[in-house]
Amino acid sequence: MQQAASDGRFFVSFVNRQLSVVSSLWLTDLSSLRKSVSISEEAEWERTNFEKLRVYRLSEKLADELWGIVMHWDYFARDTVGKQLVRAGDSIGANIAEGAGRGRFLDNRRFVRIARGSLNEVKHWLRRAHNRSLLTPSQTCSLKPMIEELAPTLNAYLNSIGVKN
């Protein structure tokens, strides 16, 4: 734990899922707070509601995988197919997040439908990348199960929005 700043600034940061709070005016002894807060509760503080969604985490995983693949392509491939592929992949999670933040079921459903469209766009660009020999067989094998899992999960999430248990 760091010592409090002498000018009274208040900092909260989450590093490796651990809470660090620094303040000379507000909190000076966090040992009792740390003992009362478990690691899992700290992790919950770190994530907002949409980040807890399995469908969002899957979309992040896909987007990060796409980024890692595209970064190794040559300039022309990155500039044409790669940018479109990464943008479409990032758009899936972005639309899930935006819809969840709207506060209305109809808005949320609309953004999830847009996310579904972005997933279809990812599939299109992956087909282009595959046909242009930009993907290795191992990359294709790693991406296919992610997409096969994300598509029905996205549909299930869409169908669950606004449904009362």
Query: Do 119 and 147 meet the contact criterion of CB atoms below 8 Å apart?
Result: yes
Residue 81 has pLDDT above 90, yes or no: yes
Question: Quick one: pLDDT at residue 102?
Answer: 87
Q: How confident is the model at residue 39 (pLDDT cuts 50, 70, 90)?
A: very low
DSSP for residue 37: S
| Claim to verify: residue 86 and residue 132 sit in the same structural domain | yes
Statement to judge: residues 55 and 40 lie in one domain: no
Q: Supply the mean pLDDT for the chain.
A: 80
Q: How is residue 7 annotated by DSSP? A: T
Buried b (16+ CB within 10 A) or exposed e, 118-144: bbebbeebbeebeeeebbeeebeeebe
How far is it, in rounded angstroms, from Cα 98 to Cα 50? 9
**What digits encode the pLDDT tens for the residues 98-139?**
999 988 899 999 999 999 999 999 999 999 999 999 999 999
Query: Both 23 and 55 in a single domain?
Result: no
**Segments forming the whole domain that contains residue 28:** 11-46
- 92, exposed or middle or buried, with CB in 10 Å at 0-12, 13-18, 19+? buried
Mark whether 82 and 104 lie in a shared domain.
yes
Answer whether residue 5 is part of any domain.
no
Same domain, 22 and 92: no
The CATH number covering residue 68 comes to: 1.20.1440.60
Structural domains counted in the chain: 2
